[in-house]
Amino acid sequence: MTGEKDLGAFRALVLERGRELYRDLPWRRTSDPYEIWISEVMLQQTQTTRVDGRWQRWLERFPSAPVLAAAEPADVLEEWQGLGYNRRALALHRAAQAVAALGGELPSETAALEALPGVGPATAAGIRAFAFDLPSVYLETNVRTVLLHELFPDEERVSDRALAPILRATCPADASDPADDPRAWYYALLDYGAYLKRTVPNPSRRSAGHTRQSRFEGSHRQKRAELLRVLLAHRGEPDGVRLETICEEVASVEEKAGRRPISAPEVEALLDELSREGFCRPGDGAWHV
């Protein structure tokens, strides 16, 4: 691992760049654990410009974990539309129910956070750092970018196992210095990383875990998302929406995009898949969300 002296210089550099490049993002103006949690989930593989506005709207509709827990799953999915990865919306809903059952407040301990549906190590670390100002190992794309660019400039296939000890050694242990506490430290890493991704060939590609995101349009994931949008558009109909209607509307979308319409058996297979995951349910010859 990089020596103690080098890590000190690295910390000084990152904090300096963080002050120069600081982004005044709306979720940085709160330390409410629930609000931080929602921002962390929304920001996964999603640009900040897409999340700004949607985060505020979500909080207006679901201002707390108990309110989210009490909502209908269809309402949660409806509000999530356009943010991608619909499974995250269902996981948020299930996790909110778990939090509500515990009294309505998110825990601060890593193990308790990671026990919530959909909360992995990075999300738990982000909640700890940004909501509770507690030390954490917050490994996400921008943070990896800084570590790889500054400390591993000539290495390929660098594993998170090599990066995690550096974050443990450099993250402040407490919030005694507001200019250099866990929250400020990770803001600096995130902002410097965002800058590097705009200005140099993306160093995060040299991470052992880097994978190029697959094309969305025409993919299995796109067809699932389109099918869910059709179901949500008919959610107010008490008798549900029949398979024939679903097939017609999905076919129309595919044809407008210049793609081959998917067949009724393909639609049925996708509906069964979505049903098994809790997105919809069959009943009386129709489908309901």
Active site residues: 40
Which residues face 288 on adjacent strands?
Answer: 281
**Largest CA-CA distance found in the chain, in angstroms, rounded:** 70
Q: What phi-psi label fits residue 157: left (phi over 0), alpha (psi between -120 and 50 degrees) or beta?
A: left
Pairwise CA distance, residues 34 & 104, whole Å = 9
Which residues face 283 on adjacent strands?
Answer: 286
User: What are the distances in angstroms from CA 125 to CA 112, 176, 184, 247, 276?
Assistant: 12, 19, 14, 43, 30
Of 61, 281, 95, nearest to 87 by C-alpha is 95
Q: Are 203 and 148 in contact (CB under 8 A)?
A: yes
Pairwise CA distance, residues 184 & 178, whole Å = 7
Pairwise CA distance, residues 84 & 46, whole Å = 8
CA 266 to chain centre: 29
Residue 88 tokens, joined = 């995250």
Pairwise CA distance, residues 207 & 148, whole Å = 8
Q: Which residues contact 57 (CB under 8 A, 6 or more apart)?
A: 79
Q: Which residue's structure tokens are 């000084």?
A: 12
